[in-house]
């Protein structure tokens, strides 16, 4: 028996496949949803789920929640006298689900298919796999949540060719995936998302309104227990909105009871920044898939936060189409994971479907660029496997020496979307020895191979000797979170520019950098070429040349942004 597991930010579920289709396995309390919360008591007893949730209200310092957002990082969560990583906390949740499944099925379970957000990077996926192994599960397949949801909706049973957009807004993460079905292949065309956007942020919006209206209460002066109590009250207010125009809450803080009534209008206004963040991945995924909204045949809602009426109204308005909500959005991913587990076991009662996924981030290496007049500049990024390339995939780029008698090439293995190597994440590094020769006479073939479980293999072949170097990227040590990466991206340091022109020129470079990160293939090369030309002009410090190139670059960017 291979289980299907949805390891969620807010709630987790476990499922299995039967002759009547996929089924959710109830936990030890007879409930389908298990809160993704862990608590440890004074006797070192670990609690998971609803019990941990109740303990969180009484002993908040011994509990951890929403840790999925930090999966793959070195962040430590303090539970009493203990410290755990998000990976370790997730393993406790997975072990609890495994035990519930064994009790329900009456047999030992050792394998599982576990879902992850489509936008989880390499390290987060590996951390999820290791969490499963720590829980005593063999995890041969990690499946993207939107792909699992698409399977659960039976999209692969659709007649003819169809294009689907899966809108997955959970408790802590947001994914949008575009899939194309042409029998018997279900192909992911593009993915995008935000690992720090979900239903928890909708609750935070209500919290912020509460503090704005009650300025005598300072967030930092409240105890952890009072903050948890306030959080629960805000969560209930959010859920109780339903189709009502007004919702209310009551909470006791500092021995005083505070009541708040919130209109739907004020609530929706507070959510506008979140809705704007939702639009960005939607536009990005459509652009990468080279599709228009009118070409999407069906929009599917997944994730607990999509049950909120406001979210459904927003989606219907944005897509100008009513989304499909026929499958419980809380359960769709787990049910799809169970079907994938059955496909893996080659269950005869299920239709065989070929699933293809994509690489969510661009993978490449650092290169040195000829700026003219034998002047070379390092720190440039050479994409090898671009984001949203169907996997498994293998790509090769040929690199050349740049100095006479050069004997060493250093290949940085990078992941990210920036033009500059230093702003991307380093996954590994390989040093390659080459024979002495004239500049450009020696070369190496750099091959990246990325499989369905997000294992990256890098192979470098010295063309003249045939010598091979290989590295498999499984457990890279970078501990940057998405927030840190974003901060690093904002701190881009460009060429030194004359003070009189700095702001105007820097703005153009930033616009070009943003456009580069949003495009692929030949478009990316064209933008990179234009930016390099402008950067060479800036190096000249010649005002006439800078003004001429600035005008040309501005016209080029304006034209692109109007498309």
Summarised one tens digit per residue, pLDDT across range 485-517 is: 344 334 322 222 333 345 577 678 878 887 888
Query: Positive or negative CA dihedral for 369, 505, 517, 475?
Result: positive
DSSP label of 26: P
- pLDDT at site 496: 29
- pLDDT value at 339 more than 70: yes
- pLDDT at site 441: 93
- pLDDT at site 476: 41
pLDDT tens per residue across span 399-439: 999 889 999 998 999 998 899 999 998 888 888 999 999 98
Per the annotation, the verdict on 68 as an active-site residue is yes
150: Cβ contacts below 8 Å, ≥ 6 apart = 156, 164, 166, 177, 179, 186, 300, 336
Q: At what angle do helices 502-518 and 543-562 cross, to 10 degrees?
A: 40
Domain boundaries, the chain: 2-197+273-359, 199-272, 361-481, 494-563
Per the annotation, the verdict on 168 as an active-site residue is yes
Residue closest to 518 by CA, chosen among 509, 527, 531: 527
Mean pLDDT of 214-229: 90
The fold adopted by the segment(s) 199-272 is Actin; Chain A, domain 4 (3.90.640)
| Residue recorded with tokens 């498994």 | 392
Over pLDDT 70: what percentage of the chain? 89
Q: How confident is the model at residue 480 (pLDDT cuts 50, 70, 90)?
A: very low
Q: How confident is the model at residue 347 (pLDDT cuts 50, 70, 90)?
A: low
Per DSSP, the three-state class of 326 is coil
Q: Name which of 49-53, 96-100, 241-245 the model is least confident about.
A: 241-245
For residues 448-462, one letter each, b for 16 or more C-beta atoms within 10 angstroms of the residue's C-beta and e for the rest, the string is: bbbeebbbbebbbbb
- pLDDT value at 159 more than 70: no
442: Cβ contacts below 8 Å, ≥ 6 apart = 400, 401, 406, 434, 435, 462, 463, 464
300: Cβ contacts below 8 Å, ≥ 6 apart = 149, 150, 153, 155, 164, 165, 166, 167, 323, 324, 332
Per DSSP, the three-state class of 136 is coil
CA distances for 313 relative to 136, 235, 298, 300, angstroms: 42, 19, 16, 14
Per the annotation, the verdict on 145 as an active-site residue is yes
Per the annotation, the verdict on 6 as an active-site residue is yes
Answer for the pair 367, 382: CB distance below 8 angstroms, yes or no.
yes
- pLDDT at site 500: 37
460: Cβ contacts below 8 Å, ≥ 6 apart = 409, 411, 430, 432, 444, 445, 446, 447, 468, 469, 470
The fold adopted by the segment(s) 361-481 is Substrate Binding Domain Of DNAk; Chain A, domain 1 (2.60.34)
Domain covering 2-197+273-359 assigned CATH 3.30.420.40 in the classification:
yes
Catalytic residue among 87, 88, 122, 168: 168
- pLDDT value at 262 more than 90: yes
Q: How confident is the model at residue 275 (pLDDT cuts 50, 70, 90)?
A: very high
Mean pLDDT of 53-70: 88
Residue closest to 337 by CA, chosen among 157, 154, 114: 114
What is the spatial distance between Cα 553 and Cα 110, in angstroms, rounded to a whole number?
58
- pLDDT at site 543: 67
- pLDDT at site 563: 63
Answer for the pair 100, 93: CB distance below 8 angstroms, yes or no.
no
554 CB neighbour count, 10 Å cutoff: 16
Q: Which two tokens stand for residue 43?
A: 């006797």
Mean pLDDT of 359-374: 85
Measured torsion, CA atoms of residues 92, 97, 102, 103, in degrees rounded to the nearest 10: 100
Catalytic residue among 122, 145, 194, 357: 145
């Amino acid at each position: 028996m291979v289980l299907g597991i949805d390891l969620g930010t807010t709630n987790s579920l476990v499922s299995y496949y039967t002759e009547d289709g996929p089924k959710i396995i109830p936990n030890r309390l007879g409930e389908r949803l298990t809160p993704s919360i862990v608590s440890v008591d004074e006797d070192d007893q670990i609690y998971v789920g609803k019990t941990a949730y109740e303990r969180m209200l009484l002993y908040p310092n011994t509990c951890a929640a929403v840790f999925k957002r930090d999966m793959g990082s070195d962040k430590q969560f303090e539970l009493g006298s203990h410290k755990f990583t998000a990976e370790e906390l997730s393993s406790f949740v997975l072990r609890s689900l495994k035990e519930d499944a064994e009790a329900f099925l009456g047999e030992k379970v050792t394998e599982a298919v576990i879902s992850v957000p489509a936008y989880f990077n390499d390290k987060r996926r590996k951390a999820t796999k290791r969490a499963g192994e720590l829980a005593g599960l063999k995890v041969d397949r990690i499946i993207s949540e939107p792909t699992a949801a698409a399977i659960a909706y039976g999209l692969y049973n659709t007649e003819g060719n169809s294009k689907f957009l899966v809108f997955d807004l959970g408790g802590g993460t947001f994914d949008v995936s575009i899939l194309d079905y042409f029998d018997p292949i279900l192909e992911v065309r593009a993915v995008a998302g935000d690992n720090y956007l979900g239903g928890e942020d909708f609750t935070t919006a209500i919290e912020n309104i509460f503090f704005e209206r009650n300025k005598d209460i300072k967030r930092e002066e409240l105890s952890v227990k009072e903050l948890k109590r306030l959080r629960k009250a805000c969560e209930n207010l959010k859920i109780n909105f339903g189709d009502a125009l007004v919702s209310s809450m009551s909470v006791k803080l500092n021995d005083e009871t505070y009541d708040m009534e919130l209109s739907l209008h004020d609530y929706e206004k507070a959510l506008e920044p979140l809705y704007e963040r939702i639009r960005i991945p939607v536009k990005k995924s459509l652009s990468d898939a080279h599709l228009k909204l009118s070409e999407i045949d069906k929009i599917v809602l997944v994730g607990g936060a999509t049950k909120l009426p406001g979210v459904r109204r927003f989606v219907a308005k944005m897509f100008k189409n009513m989304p499909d909500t026929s499958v419980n959005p809380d359960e769709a991913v787990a049910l799809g994971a169970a079907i994938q587990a059955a496909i893996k076991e080659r269950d005869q009662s299920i239709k065989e479907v070929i699933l293809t996924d994509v690489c969510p981030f661009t993978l490449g290496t650092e290169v040195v660029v000829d700026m003219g007049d034998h002047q070379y500049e390092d720190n440039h990024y050479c994409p090898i496997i671009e984001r949203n390339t169907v996997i498994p995939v293998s790509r090769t780029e040929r690199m050349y020496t740049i100095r006479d008698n050069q004997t060493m090439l250093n290949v940085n293995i990078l992941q990210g979307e920036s033009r500059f190597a230093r702003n991307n994440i380093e996954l590994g590094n390989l040093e390659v020895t080459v024979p002495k020769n004239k500049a450009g006479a020696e070369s190496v073939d750099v091959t990246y191979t990325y499989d369905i479980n997000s294992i990256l293999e890098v192979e470098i072949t010295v063309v003249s000797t045939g010598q091979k170097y290989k590295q498999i990227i499984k457990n890279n040590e970078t501990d940057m979170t998405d927030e840190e990466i974003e901060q690093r991206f904002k701190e881009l340091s460009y060429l030194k520019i004359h003070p009189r022109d700095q702001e105007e020129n820097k703005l153009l470079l930033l616009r070009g950098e943003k456009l580069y990160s949003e495009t692929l293939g030949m478009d990316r090369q064209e933008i990179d070429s234009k930016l390099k030309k402008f950067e060479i002009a800036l190096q000249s410090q010649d005002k006439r040349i800078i003004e001429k190139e600035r005008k040309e670059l501005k016209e080029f960017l304006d034209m692109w942004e109007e498309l």
